[in-house]
């Protein structure tokens, strides 16, 4: 079973006016990270998620998407669902380790997010050049997300695709753009990095535009922590 480098995130709740979050290096052992990167699920399992509209008149979030779950979800996700046994073997092992109710991952999640009961869904994203994710706050049904970056070989930081947090919204409207915030924070995505964040009413975040001419996709694995 895959082991995790869990530790107390002492600065998790000290990001003033931003969503509580922590950028983590080496949560997975390096050899496991690179094996997972080499075996990132094939694009054939993904479907286009290109909605025409989004809540509150925000710009739609467009990408290639699939998800894995074994609990009750919104009917929306049904067409994007794949079974765990369709994933490469090492990815099955990773997901199984995360789902172990007595394992170190779930103990760490409970302690860090300060929660007791929850469901987990695994989301996989592939985002092509020219796309971003507009500033938004996650739905109230989500406790948080643990994002694992699996950028393909040749990815450079200036290709974008970074998770970005915003604070001090300058307009009342709920469909802001990045320039409608006073401040923002983003973090490196190249290498063995992950990012855990907790959903809050003012936890505005998004993804910077993907920019590259090499036909590379931003690749992300997201452990979504949901309210029961």
Domains of the chain with bracketed CATH: 21-226 (2.60.120.620)
Q: Dihedrals φ, ψ of 206, to 5°?
A: -170, -160
Given a cut of 90, whether residue 190 has pLDDT beyond it is: yes
Which pair of tokens denotes residue 18? 């931003």
Separation of alpha carbons 19 and 136, rounded Å: 12
Separation of alpha carbons 225 and 228, rounded Å: 10
Under the banding of pLDDT at 50, 70 and 90, the label for residue 52 is confident
Helices (H), ranges, 132-210: none
Strand residues in 73-217 grouped as ranges (E) = 119-127, 133-136, 142-149, 163-169, 181-186, 193-198, 205-207
Separation of alpha carbons 172 and 154, rounded Å: 40
Under the banding of pLDDT at 50, 70 and 90, the label for residue 168 is very high
Q: What is the pLDDT of residues 108-123, one digit of tens each?
A: 999 999 999 999 999 9
CA atoms within 13 A on the CB side of 133: 21
When comparing pLDDT for 56 and 186, which is higher?
A: 186
DSSP 42: P
> End-to-end distance of the chain based on CA atoms, in angstroms?
26
For residues 142-170, average pLDDT: 98
- Three-state DSSP class for residue 178: helix
Q: What is the pLDDT of residues 66-108, one digit of tens each?
A: 999 999 999 999 999 999 999 999 999 999 999 999 999 999 9
pLDDT (0 to 100) of residue 135? 97
Separation of alpha carbons 192 and 27, rounded Å: 8
- Three-state DSSP class for residue 32: helix
Given a cut of 90, whether residue 1 has pLDDT beyond it is: no
Q: What is the pLDDT of residues 123-140, one digit of tens each?
A: 999 999 999 999 999 999
Q: What is the pLDDT of residues 209-226, one digit of tens each?
A: 999 999 999 999 999 999
**Against a cut of 0.95, is the pTM above it?**
yes
């Amino acid at each position: 079973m895959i082991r995790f480098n869990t530790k107390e995130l002492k600065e998790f709740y000290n990001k003033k006016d931003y969503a509580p979050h922590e950028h983590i290096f080496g949560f997975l052992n390096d050899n496991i990270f690179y094996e997972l990167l080499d075996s990132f699920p094939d694009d054939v399992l993904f479907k286009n998620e290109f909605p025409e509209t989004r809540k509150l008149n925000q710009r739609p979030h467009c990408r290639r998407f699939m998800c894995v779950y074994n609990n009750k979800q919104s009917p929306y996700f049904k067409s994007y669902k794949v079974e765990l046994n369709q994933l490469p073997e090492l990815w099955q092992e990773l997901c199984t380790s995360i789902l172990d109710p007595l394992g170190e991952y779930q103990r760490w999640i409970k302690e860090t997010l300060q929660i007791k009961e929850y469901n987990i869904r695994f989301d996989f994203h592939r985002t092509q050049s020219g796309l971003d994710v507009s500033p938004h706050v996650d739905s109230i049904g989500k406790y948080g997300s643990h994002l694992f970056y699996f950028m393909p070989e040749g990815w450079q930081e200036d290709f974008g695709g970074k998770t970005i947090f915003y604070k001090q919204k300058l307009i009342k409207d709920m469909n802001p753009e990045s320039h409608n915030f006073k401040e923002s924070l983003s973090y490196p995505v190249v290498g063995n990095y992950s990012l855990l964040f907790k959903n809050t009413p003012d936890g505005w975040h998004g993804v910077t535009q993907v920019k590259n001419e090499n036909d590379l996709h931003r690749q992300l694995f997201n452990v979504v922590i949901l309210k029961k």
